[in-house]
Structure 1
Amino acid sequence: MIIERAEVIVTSPSRNFVTLRLTTDEGLIGLGDATLNGREHSVVAYLQEHVVPLLIGMDAHRIEDTWQFLYRGAYWRRGPVTMTAISAVDVALWDLKAQAAGMPLYQLLGGASRKGLLAYGHASGNDTEELFDSIRHHLERGFRAIRVQTAVPGVRAVYGVPHDVTVSNGVRSQEYEPASRGAYPAEEDWDTRAYLRHVPTVFGAVRTEFGPELPLLHDGHHRMTPIQAASLGKSLEPYDLFWLEDCTPAENQEALRLVRQHTTTPLAIGEVFNSVWDYQGLIREQLIDYVRSSVTHTGGITHLRRILDFAAQYQVKSGMHGPTDISPVGMAAAMHLGLAIHNFGIQEFMPHSAKTNSVFAQSFTWKDGLLHPGEQPGLGVTLDVDEAGKYPYEQAYLPFNRLADGTVHDW
């Protein structure tokens, strides 16, 4: 099965997506997600100028050898651009191999380890009423676990909370897109002390309203120092969180030792990581409970499977990144991998827009709070090239933060 054509397709139906499309001499088409939010063209150039010329004439069945060739052969290793490009190739090759075998990808990964994937939705609000409405909205849509994000008094804009919530026919819109289109990123403000005072009161109100059984999650989005993160984790212990995510920038792996010493709140880390080396100490020392990396940004199914197999030795589970900056191709890859591994924890899930779904046809199902990738051979995703062409790339940036004195802060 020889690769005859490799195309990099950029489309922006609701946000920018980069897709690698491989075609073989047998007429099979494999897809890989190469989207790196806010830096999409960096991966496009990496693929088009450096990787695509190497793929033509390759045996598409040689997934492991191709992975090692692209990782070790380039000399310059790791990093989000390199690993996202490798991921796109890897996932496209797995898609092709599963199609050639006539079975859904998860079967090639060892078969299903569960009926479906527990997924969590994103609830948010500018006040308690909006937040409760958002939680109820997600429960009505079938979610059985909820991430809770809230505005903070005195802070103009907070990650995960839409600035303007529209209402149509009595239903509040829950769509949220942090990447603003334009020539310069939006500037937001931040006050950690106000945040630390406010968040525990919010979770107290949510538990009072919705009871003790509903799994609740929260994302700190790298904004705290280690001691601040430890303080928040401890203050949230009475509310029994499923996890506290990205409580502090984890490039400094030793920081999680301090957090772990002071709180039993479960910790999830890693959506900005891209290799097993980012996790080595965190997993070995059992400083985290969930791996947050995505297939898209972490070297594909081949490499993320290695990370999760390593994590399984320490009872650390998966919590794969899955908002709408992961295309339907990347989400399908996550579902197949999550269905097959033993140490699955939970899957992040933000439904894509109708425009995105018109570009990417998908076979997954959503029932009783569980995702399933479906039974179509391969990933179960097809790309409508003509439809994709209706939505050209638009420059977009994620926001950035400044403190009250003007200092740039973690976002």
Structure 2
Amino acid sequence: MKIKEIKVFVCSPGRNFVTVKVITDSDIYGLGDATLNGREIAVATYLEEHLIPCLIGRNAHDIEDIWQYLYRGVYWRKGAVNMAAIAAIDMALWDIKGKAANMPVYQLLGGKSRRAVGLYAHANGDTIENTLDKTEELIDQGFKAIRLQCAVPGLNVTYGVLGDKADYFELQGNRPLPPEEEWSTQKYFNMVVDLFAQARARFGNNIHLLHDVHSRLMPIESARLGKLLEPYNLLFLEDASIAENQDSYKVIRQHTTTPLAIGETYNTIWDCKELIQNQLIDYIRVAATHAGGITALRRIADFASIHNVKTAPHGAPDLSPVCFAAHMHLNIWAPNFGIQEFVGFGNEHSARIFQHTLTLENGMVFLSDAPGLGIEFDEEAAKEYPYKRSYLPVSRLEDGTVWHW
């Protein structure tokens, strides 16, 4: 079964998505997600100008060889643009193989390790009280794990809390340039421990609580935060510090038993190799779209498994429903799956473009037996939502110093 054509679509039904459609000479096609937030056109161009010409005529069943060809066969390895492009091709080929076999992708990976995929939802509020009210709403909907993010008093904007803004497009106004946000570690510390103390007092210990620091702290500050949060038994503390220097997590680990999670910006297994093999983290959060697709994530999951590290794939709204579907197949298979981030299946606009076969019940996703990834893409509907240039914010300290986003 030869690859006959590969199409790339960039659309914006609320967020920009880059979708790849690989079509074979038997007219079986597969879908992949190549979205890279704020750099979407770079990936689309890389696909169209560099990868696609090399793939026409190749056997679509040769997933492993094609992955190695695109990764090992080039001089400039890794990198967010390169790996997002590889990921999209890889997902699409798995989708094709599942459809050709008339089996869901998870069966090709080895079958189910569980009956459903556990999720954690987001409770974001302007105040602690508002955050906890939203937490209660999610508990009432059946969620058993919830990430708490609260606005920091004294800062104009706080990560994860957009106030009256619906998304980052609105933050940019009529000038599509990066918005800027203030950060103060001291003001953050004044709020965050109180948030979790009140959450445990209100909801008890039967709900999993999580928190995303978003890499705003230095390692010793993260160690202090982890220690302060120990009484509140977090499922994990996410992105406590930047780990470009993976030794940074040795500092955090030696001071706290709060579980640690990281990985949403990682592109290959090499970015997290030392963190995993030295058991400096408890959850690895790489996303299929950003780390080379299903083939690559399967390897990372297996490597993590032998070091007692669980998977918790990134699930931000800037990953398309195609990526979410790929994660579901990996999650239902992976014996060391931990939990999946969930921000909903999208809005009414994206629902017109992407149709899936997943069902949500009591904070878990159930997969169908639909062949392949179980997701479809409406090309005509996508044309109604043209690309809009967008950026994530830039973070600065109160004195103006550019800080970690």
TM-score by length of 2: 0.97
Per the alignment, in what secondary structure is the counterpart of residue 211 of structure 2? strand
Q: Distance in 1 between matches of 2:231 and 2:167?
A: 29
The letter of the residue matching 1:259 is I
The CA distance in 1 between the partners of 2:139 and 2:220, in whole Å, is 34
Q: Which residue of 2 aligns with 1:172?
A: none
- 1:346 positional shift: 0.1
Q: Is it true that 1:385 corresponds to 2:366 in the alignment?
A: no
**Aligned residue in 1 for 2:84:** 84
Q: Where does 1:67-78 land on structure 2 (aligned, <5 Å)?
A: 67-78=67-78
Displacement after TM superposition at 1:142 (Å): 2.4
Say whether residues 1:410 and 2:404 are aligned partners: yes
CA–CA separation in structure 2 for the residues paired with 1:407 and 1:44: 33
Show the 5 A alignment for 1:125-140.
125-140=125-140
Question: What's the counterpart of residue 123 of structure 2?
Answer: 123
Whole-angstrom CA distance in 1 between matches of 2:333 and 2:5: 30
Unaligned runs of 5+ in 1: 166-174
Name the CA distance, whole Å, in 1 between partners of 2:353 and 2:131: 32
Amino acid paired to 1:311: A
Instruction: Provide the rounded CA distance (Å) in 1 between the counterparts of 2:115 and 2:260.
Output: 26
1:366 maps to which of 360, 363, 387: 360
- Which residue, out of 331, 341, 348, partners 2:341? 348
Following TM superposition, by how much is the alpha carbon of 1:129 offset from its aligned partner in structure 2, in angstroms?
A: 2.5
Partner of 2:260: 267
CA distance, structure 2, for counterparts of residue 196 and residue 269 of structure 1: 20
Name which of structure 1's ranges 343-352 and 156-165 shifts more when overlaid on structure 2: 156-165
Report the CA distance between 1:155 and its aligned residue.
1.1
- Residue 142, structure 1, aligned to residue 142, structure 2: yes
Shift of 1:162: 2.0
Distance 1:106 1:291 in 2: 20
Instruction: Provide the C-alpha distance between the structure 2 equivalents of 1:386 and 1:335, rounded to a whole number of angstroms.
Output: 26
1:73 to partner: Cα distance: 1.3
Cross-structure match for 1:290: 283
Amino acid at match of 2:348: A
Aligned to 1:171: none
Displacement over 6 Å in runs of 4+: none
Kindly tell me the number of residue pairs found equivalent between the two proteins: 402
**AA in 1 matched with 2:62:** R
% identical aligned pairs = 51
Cα deviation digits, residues 232-258 of structure 1 (max 9, x gap): 000000000000000000111000000
SS at match of 1:184: coil
Asked if 1 retains the 8 angstrom alpha-carbon contact of 2:169 and 2:390, the reply is: no
What does the per-residue CA deviation read over 1:27-62, in whole Å, with 9 as the maximum and x for residues that have no partner?
A: 111000000011101101110100111111110000
More off after superposition, 178-187 vs 328-337: 178-187
Matched, 1:164 2:157: no
Task: Give distance in 2, aligned partners of 1:41 and 1:121.
Answer: 30
For residue 73 of structure 1, give the secondary structure of its aligned residue in structure 2: coil
What is the CA-CA distance between 1:373 and the residue it aligns to?
Answer: 3.0
* Offset of residue 74 of structure 1: 1.6
Give the structure-1-normalised TM-score.
0.96
**For 1:195 and 1:232, how far apart are their aligned partners in 2?**
10
**Residue 333 of structure 1 aligns with which residue?**
326
The CA deviation at 1:178 is: 7.4
SS in 1 for 2:93: helix
Aligned pair partner of 1:400 in 379, 394, 399: 394
Q: Give SS of 1:325's match.
A: coil
Unaligned runs of 5+ in 2: none
Contact 1:294 1:320 in 2 (8 A): yes
Contact 2:141 2:362 in 1 (8 A): no
Check whether the contact 2:310–2:338 (CA below 8 A) recurs between aligned residues. Answer: yes
Q: Which amino acid aligns with 1:164?
A: D
Answer whether contact 1:3 1:56 (CA < 8 A) is retained. Answer: yes
1:39-54 mapped onto 2 (5 Å cutoff): 39-54=39-54
1:179 Cα offset (Å): 8.0
